[in-house]
């Protein structure tokens, strides 16, 4: 299956908007469930153990939530790739033509 002009354009828009979102947002705060999931997958014992303790004893303390701060260059890179995809789609011939 060939990728046509409209699919390149849509992929470019999605990547462009994702890059803009990364540029506008400073940090992301994950939920307890997502933090626990990441702690299990990466092998971080302190967060996983603490999260398990807070599940056993909910009044033990505040919920632990991971804060993710993406680097500044990721936003710029996604904006650049999205722009190139959009420009590439505009240079292609129309589907069915």
Position 19 scores a pLDDT of 97
Position 47 scores a pLDDT of 47
Regarding pTM above 0.85, the answer is no
Position 14 scores a pLDDT of 98
Q: How far apart are CA 75 and CA 86, in angstroms?
A: 17
Q: What is the pLDDT along the chain (97 residues), one digit of tens a residue?
A: 788 899 999 999 999 999 999 999 999 999 988 888 888 888 876 444 555 555 565 555 667 888 989 999 999 999 999 999 999 999 988 877 7
Select from 29, 18, 7 the least CA-distant residue to 78. 18
Q: Where are the domains of the chain?
A: 1-26+72-97, 29-68
Q: If DSSP states are collapsed to H, E and C, what string results for the chain?
A: CCCCHHHHHHHHHHHHHHHHHHHHCCCEECCHHHHHHHHHHHCCHHHHHHHHHHHHCHHHCCCCCCEECCCHHHHHHHHHHHHHHHHHHHHCCCCCC
């Amino acid at each position: 299956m060939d990728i046509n002009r409209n699919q390149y354009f849509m992929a470019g828009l999605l990547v462009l908007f994702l890059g803009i979102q990364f540029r506008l947002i400073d940090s992301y705060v994950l939920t307890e469930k997502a933090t626990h999931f990441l702690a299990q997958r990466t092998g971080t014992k302190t967060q996983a153990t603490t999260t398990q303790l807070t599940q056993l004893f909910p009044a033990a303390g505040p919920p632990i939530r991971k804060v993710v701060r993406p680097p500044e260059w990721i936003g710029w890179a996604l904006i650049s790739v999205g722009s190139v995809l959009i420009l590439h789609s505009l240079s292609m011939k129309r589907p069915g033509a």
